[in-house]
Amino acid sequence: MQRIQDMLGYERLTQLLPTTKLDGRVITAILCGFGAGILLRKWLFRRQLQKKIAKAQEQRERLLEQMKAAVHRFKQKHPDIRAESILSLSLLELSEKLQEGTFSPENVLYTYMEQALKVNEELNCLTDFIPDCEEQLRELQKRKEKGLLYGIPVSLKEHYDYKNHVSSCGLVSFLGIPAKDDSVIVKVLKSQGAIPFVKTNVPQTMLSYDSSNVIFGKTLHPQNPKKSPGGSSSGEGALIAGGGSILGLGSDVGGSIRIPSSFCGICGLKPTASRLSFLGTPVPLPGMDTVTASLGPMARDVDSLALCMRALLCEELFHLDPSLPPLSFNDEVYASSKPLRIGYYESDGFSQPTPSMKRAIQQTKQLLEKTGHELIPFSVPRTEHMVYELFLGGIFADGIETLHDLLKNEMIDPCMRYLFRLSYFPAFVKRLLSFLLKPMFPRLAKFLDKTCGIGSVKKLWKQHDAVKTYQCEFIDKWKSLELDVILCPAVCPAFNLASSGILLGVTSYTFLYNVLNFPAGTVTVDTVTEEDEEKLKQYQGYYHDFWDTQLRKSVEGGVGLPIAVQCVALPWQDELCLRLMKEVETVTREWRRRR
């Protein structure tokens, strides 16, 4: 020991150290100074974030004023343009008039720009105006080939890259980084003559069914300001339903196209993943591939979705992204009148459908049967396994670490607060809470357990294999019944504001088809009735837990709001999915007209 002390210069070291004892006041002063330093650092960091947010908000206001000025100049030159004659047309009708030259792309663009501004004043759905649309308009009129979407104004979900514009995904840390190029989908839209003119709002991180972020605020439902338009394609749903866009592009990793479409009363398609290119469309959790994400169209009717897919699935797309299968749109399948063999279910056995969800399926089933289609009962296999092991096990495979890293330097929006707080809990604490909650609240207990993460690469590979096994099991059951398509519930009606973020576990009806990677779309079929609202008072759910209670509370007060159904096909049969959607739209519209 003495030798070691000599080697370290122990005696010289002790001579240099102070021999006086620190009293309590000095220690208190040191600790207070340290605490004050931490608080100052946090304050300065928050101030920096607020400056970035203020700059982004000022940029938006400047661009929206530029948009208003452009509309004003146009109206001064063309005072006789009747907006209603344009806004009242379906996409197919408008496209026909543009192709034949009855309407000019200029008249259409500025009419929709004016309407988008009006909708935004009420709903707060726009994040960006794309001034380049005016230059594109001039170039478009010089082109010899018009393209399938010639002169059609298109809105984009905020995370679609457009050159020199920001794709923030609702995150402050993504601000100030303009895109270096257009996304592949934007390039294809332009090649087909479409004119992207605005970008629309999303929830923070886009991993929420809510509609708010700390940069651009909250987007409201087009019919009821107390309700959410859904997420994460929140702005698209609200803008299209409000008449401010005739065609929009969204994305879907758990229902993010289908839920806003269902809530807002429009149509939305989640195609098979890799049918459309994700190049140039940033996501907050890159590499999370267990649960597949898709890009897809949103519009007021099914024919509009079909036209968009027909336009996008072209040689230009396959040239720009050779990783995609070169499958053009199959018009023969979409236009077929052959009766379909349709599987259907009213419940997945995990989340009890609301009365209006259940009625939507029963009503649509009867109408389809009357038109000659055959409806066969179907049951979803092993729903709990799908929810916990495959979906939650997939999106939380990293133990929420990636999400934590994204948000730790952000101001947290209420829609992400509960997940962010969970990300701070050590795994052993969450497992302990899971164990304690299991007897009373088994679903919440399993949810907590899954937020701990997979734990190893070996377990992740097993999880990937489990997804493939489940997909094969589902397809085998489908084929054993010789089904063409499936009709099933869509999540509806619209939830109350700020409640969607905590209802992740009750949206199993939509995220099932992200796990399976099946094309799925939603079609509005009716509205909530007084009878639905009365039956909702008796709603208890299957588990009588927090999620069941919250779901009932979240959909209360929904009389008059849209309700929808979901249509599903096997992978790569997107046209068949659209065919069922069209059949549903036709029979329910006729039924509503007669009623």
Q: What is the pLDDT of residue 28?
A: 76
Annotated binding site for substrate: 206, 232, 253-256
**54 three-state secondary structure:** helix
Tell me the per-residue pLDDT of 302-316, one tens digit each, with 9 for 90 and over: 999 999 999 999 999
Contact 250, 298 (CB under 8 A): yes
Contact 525, 565 (CB under 8 A): yes
Predicted confidence band at 15 (pLDDT cuts at 50, 70, 90)?
low
Place of tokens 């991993």: 207
587, pLDDT greater than 50: yes
The β-bridge partners of 564 are 524
Catalytic residue (choose from 95, 167, 211, 232)? 232
Looking at 190-280, which runs of residues are DSSP E strands? 195-200, 212-213, 217-218, 247-252, 267-270
Query: Residue 489: beta bridge partners?
Result: 565
Of 42-51, 113-122, 286-295, 452-461, minimum mean pLDDT range: 42-51
| CA angle, residues 170, 158, 44, in degrees to nearest 5 | 25
Contact yes or no for 498/373 (Cβ under 8 A)? no
Q: b vs e for 426-438, b when ≥16 Cβ sit within 10 Å of the residue's Cβ? A: eeeebbebbeebe
Is pLDDT above 50 for 8?
A: no
Catalytic entry in 167, 233, 256, 274:
256
pLDDT at 7 over 70: no
Average pLDDT score, the chain: 93
Answer for the pair 245, 155: CB distance below 8 angstroms, yes or no. Answer: yes
Q: Model confidence over 425-477: pLDDT tens digits?
A: 999 999 999 999 999 999 999 999 999 999 999 999 999 999 999 999 999 99
Confidence of residue 4 (pLDDT cuts 50, 70, 90): very low
Joined together, the tokens standing for residue 306 give 């079909």
**CA gap 487, 280 in Å, rounded:** 33
pTM over 0.85: yes
228 part of the active site: no
Q: Is residue 528 within 8 Å of 559, Cβ to Cβ?
A: yes
Q: What is the CATH number of domain 61-325?
A: 3.90.1300.10
Alpha helices in 484-567 (DSSP H): 508-516, 530-536, 546-555
H or E segment to which residue 153 belongs = strand 153-157
Q: Starting at the edge strand that comes first in sequence, how are the strands of the sheet with 247-252 ordered?
A: 126-129, 195-200, 153-157, 247-252, 294-299, 267-270, 520-527, 562-568, 485-489, 341-344, 374-377
* Residue 83, token pair as written in the block: 């907006």
Who wins on pLDDT, 178 or 4? Answer: 178
The single-letter DSSP state of residue 486 is E
Which is catalytic among the residues 95, 157, 191, 199?
Answer: 157
Residue of 219, 209, 253 lying closest to 239 (CA atoms): 219
Instruction: Quote the DSSP letter at residue 388.
Output: I
Whether 18 has a pLDDT exceeding 70, the answer reads no
pLDDT tens-digit map of 155-192: 999 999 999 999 999 999 999 999 999 999 999 999 99
Q: Is 261 a catalytic residue?
A: no
Helices (H) and strands (E) in the chain, counts: 25, 13
The rounded distance, in Å, linking the Cα atoms of 527 and 560 is 5
Dist. CA 80–CA 64, nearest whole Å: 24
Q: Give catalytic status of residue 232 as yes or no.
A: yes
| pLDDT for residue 369 is more than 60 | yes
Residue 515 reports pLDDT greater than 60: yes
Percent of the chain with pLDDT over 70: 95
Q: What percentage of the chain exceeds 90 in pLDDT?
A: 88
Q: Where are the domains of the chain?
A: 61-325, 339-377+483-595, 385-468
C-alpha dihedral sign at 156, 161, 165, 169: positive
3-class DSSP state of 526:
strand
CA of 344: how far to CAs of 235, 366, 569, in Å?
31, 11, 12
- 527-546 tens-digit pLDDT: 999 999 999 999 999 999 88
